Chain A
């Protein structure tokens, strides 16, 4: 992650800041300008709920160049309480304890060990 990109996206990453369509109420993360449901073009920034459920997950052993030294990494497909789905890292839990359907909570954590100053949404087991 470079500083310019983090400068542009940092708030989205730290707060999981998405968007909402004022016309029909549809919510989005990642944020969109044009509403996929009603075609409205005036969506506004909107925070996402922090609670969700693990729909599916994987533990990857082969990381990309930017995440060298981070594997194994748990990556989850998470459905938030508002129905929006995100892909994110699942941390603070041994991979063998991951279960489909488990409740998770969003936290802001350093993106990688090397990028300690860049905080990004990740998920931990709820409670």
Chain B
């Protein structure tokens, strides 16, 4: 509906005036998500990486018949080794019939989707773009298990982690063991995260798994890298998710629901867990979260839901605790008591999260943002968090090596 004003009343969310970097007043523009498109996560032998990107992008663009992106940003981790294809920005823009606009890929391991969205956000905020298509994509299932394991290990040091035999799961496994012993957490409590993720995915159309699991199922599933079991781990899969980010001026011209990005922050940590003073400290999550809270003015207790980077049970616990949303060592017990369920105090992974919706690595950050859009637009169907007005996403590359945090609010 032309001429509509996006709400300037802070979307019903009481917050302080937005501030720029280091407290300077922000003179820059507001940024909105105007539509999203999702490919159902799973094994797609019939689709190549271009097919996945185009499917999600067309889905997002079809809600905006009059919008023409002036920039295309792709988030992807390992298309080069995954399917022998790089140059994804131009591949996507060309496939959609665009010529002459900026189009490129942003990479930050499993945090690629969040970093791509951040790049698009900056462009709109700075006034360089009015309409940006962001598409996260990963094609993992052309590779066998050993090759996927090698590809995922590229998130950490090739020369001092992967080359000595450690895998990406093994890095998370040593933090999982250290966490259990430091805080005396029973392993049964950790199983609450995958149980909850699978429950939320049951009614999630685009999720990979539609099967409930019990704590007993988790604790008796095959050991991948002790103490991490198969059901503690997100699956190998294919997927793509797209967002269309628009300026305030463009937002007035579209008829689809609008969700405002109140903050988009990225932080990088010391590269490998063993180089950090405390391997259990998610310093990148902490820094990005703190800046996002400061810049949005949204108090953490006002968050209606959170899409965390639940690639493993341990990353759920450490993410929640690093952001101060759960006391140290308490997140698994709180999960077991239902605090993070869809009807709980702080719902997480509302469509199944990385664990059960699936984790097509470079696309997960854009799936989280698309799901946050669906929640805040009131389009989450049976997975709707009632009264959701403001939400957050947290997307990590590596073991919290690069983390993107977004805070979003409904704007209708």
Interface of A with B (CB < 8 Å)?
Answer: 1, 5, 9, 13, 28-30, 36, 55-68, 70, 73, 75-77, 85-89, 95, 100, 111-112, 120-121
Q: Range of interface residues on chain B?
A: 35 or more
Considering the chains assembled together, what is the distance between the CA atoms of A1 and B159 in angstroms? Answer: 10
A85 to B161, CA, bound (A): 12
The yes or no answer to B153 lying at the interface (CB within 8 A) is: yes
Q: Is A89 in contact with B279, judged by CB distance below 8 angstroms?
A: no
> A30: which of B160, B223, B225, B273 is its contact (CB, 8 Å)?
B160
Cβ-defined contact, B166 with A85, below 8 A: no
**Chain B residues near A63 (CB, 8 Å)?**
146, 149, 165, 167
Given known A-B contacts A30-B159, A75-B170, A64 and B164 have beta carbons under 8 A apart = no
The answer to whether B178 and A59 touch across the interface, beta carbons within 8 angstroms, is no
> In the complex the two chains form, what is the Cα distance from A111 to B160 in whole Å?
12
Q: In whole angstroms, how far apart are the Cα atoms of A88 and B160 in the complex?
A: 9
Contact with A along B161-180 (1 / 0, CB 8 A): 11111110111011101100
B165 touching A57 by the CB < 8 A rule?
Answer: no
CA gap between A57 and B161 in the complex, in Å: 14
Partner among A36, A58, A87, A95 whose Cβ is within 8 Å of the Cβ of B270: A36
Name 17 interchain pairs, CB-CB below 8 A, sorted by A: A55-B178, A55-B279, A56-B175, A58-B228, A59-B225, A60-B167, A61-B224, A62-B149, A64-B146, A64-B162, A65-B149, A65-B150, A85-B274, A87-B272, A87-B273, A89-B164, A120-B164
Q: Which residues of chain B from 337 to 373 have any CB-CB distance to chain A below 8 Å in the complex?
A: none
Whether B275 sits at the interface, judged by CB under 8 Å, is yes
User: Are B169 and A77 touching (Cβ within 8 A)?
Assistant: no
Whether B226 is near chain A, meaning CB under 8 Å from some CB there, is yes
Would A87 and B228 count as touching, CB distance under 8 A?
Answer: no
* Chain B proximity of A119: nearest CB distance (Å): 12
Query: Is B159 a contact of A9 with CB atoms below 8 Å?
Result: yes
Q: Which residue from A55, A61, A70, A77 sits with its C-beta under 8 Å from B165?
A: A70
